[in-house]
């Protein structure tokens, strides 16, 4: 019986190992538009915009995340903000669309490690198993009492975006859950 308890404790420790790391500032744009605007924006941004629900597309350091049928979140390095904005504005001229710079609205965290999904599930109701939420999937959801954007970057790494005013709450919630499981 003691051996089974030890084995269970080791298994739990392996599944709960995860790190929570703040990510550096980045440029963020929310784009809304129909197919012609989305196609033009994707070409200008250098990332083919995802057409499949809840998916992300990545080219080098740029990413496009599907938030809705006509809504895409564009992420790029902070240093590229002005260049991205200029290219998008030029490409979208004459096309009905909405493009909003939301770069300072959110803060991003990376939750990584073999226990990343387990840690997030301490306060997120989604099934984060790889079959239900595979790499490349993204969605709006909640973590505790906070609305977040969750993107599974790869099998053991998630990017979490939360409104800047809730960042401390999200950080503390994840750190408390991590401490609860790791002792």
Report yes or no on 59 lying in a domain. yes
Whether residue 2 is predicted with pLDDT greater than 70 in this model: the reply is no
**Mean pLDDT score, 60-75:** 96
pLDDT at 14: 52
Query: Residue 178: its pLDDT value, please?
Result: 87
User: Rounded to two decimals, what is the model's pTM?
Assistant: 0.89
Does the pLDDT of residue 5 top 70, yes or no?
A: no
Asked if residue 6 is part of any domain, the answer here is no
Domains of the chain: total: 2
Buried b (16+ CB within 10 A) or exposed e, 128-158: beeeebeebbbbebebbebebbbbbbeebbb
84: domain CATH number is 3.30.70.1520
* Mean pLDDT, rounded, for 2-12: 44
Q: Residue 17's pLDDT is what?
A: 87
- Give pLDDT, residue 183: 63
Residues 115 and 96 in one domain: no
The answer to whether position 9 is within a domain reads no
pLDDT in tens, 78-131: 999 999 999 999 999 999 999 999 999 999 999 999 999 999 999 999 999 999
Distances (CA, A) of 66 to 4, 115, 134: 44, 25, 15
Predicted local confidence at residue 57, as pLDDT: 98
Predicted pLDDT of residue 148: 98
CATH number of the domain within which 178 lies:
3.30.1360.120
Residue 3: pLDDT band with limits 50, 70, 90: low
Q: What's the CA angle centered on 113, arms 110 and 118, to 5 degrees?
A: 90
Residue range of the domain that includes 121: 105-182
pLDDT(16) > 90? no
Is residue 47 situated within a structural domain? Answer: yes
Q: What is the mean pLDDT of residues 19-37?
A: 96
Which pLDDT score, from 0 to 100, does residue 182 have?
74
pLDDT for residue 63: 98
């Amino acid at each position: 019986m003691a051996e089974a308890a030890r084995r269970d404790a080791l298994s739990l420790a392996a599944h709960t190992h995860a790190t929570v790391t703040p990510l550096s500032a980045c440029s963020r744009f929310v784009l809304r538009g129909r197919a012609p605007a989305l196609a033009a924006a994707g070409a200008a941004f250098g990332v083919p915009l995802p057409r499949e629900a809840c998916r992300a597309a990545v080219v080098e350091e740029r990413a496009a995340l599907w938030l809705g049928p006509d809504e895409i979140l564009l992420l790029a390095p902070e240093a590229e903000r002005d260049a991205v904005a200029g290219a998008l504005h030029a490409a979208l001229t004459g096309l009905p669309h909405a493009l909003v710079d939301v770069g300072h609205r959110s803060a991003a965290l990376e939750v990584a490690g073999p226990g990343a999904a387990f840690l997030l599930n301490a306060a997120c109701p989604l099934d984060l198993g790889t079959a239900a939420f595979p790499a490349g999937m993204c969605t709006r959801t909640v973590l505790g009492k906070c609305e977040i954007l969750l993107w599974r970057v790869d099998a053991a790494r998630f990017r979490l975006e939360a409104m800047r005013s809730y960042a401390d709450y999200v950080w503390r919630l994840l750190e408390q859950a991590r401490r609860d499981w790791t002792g």
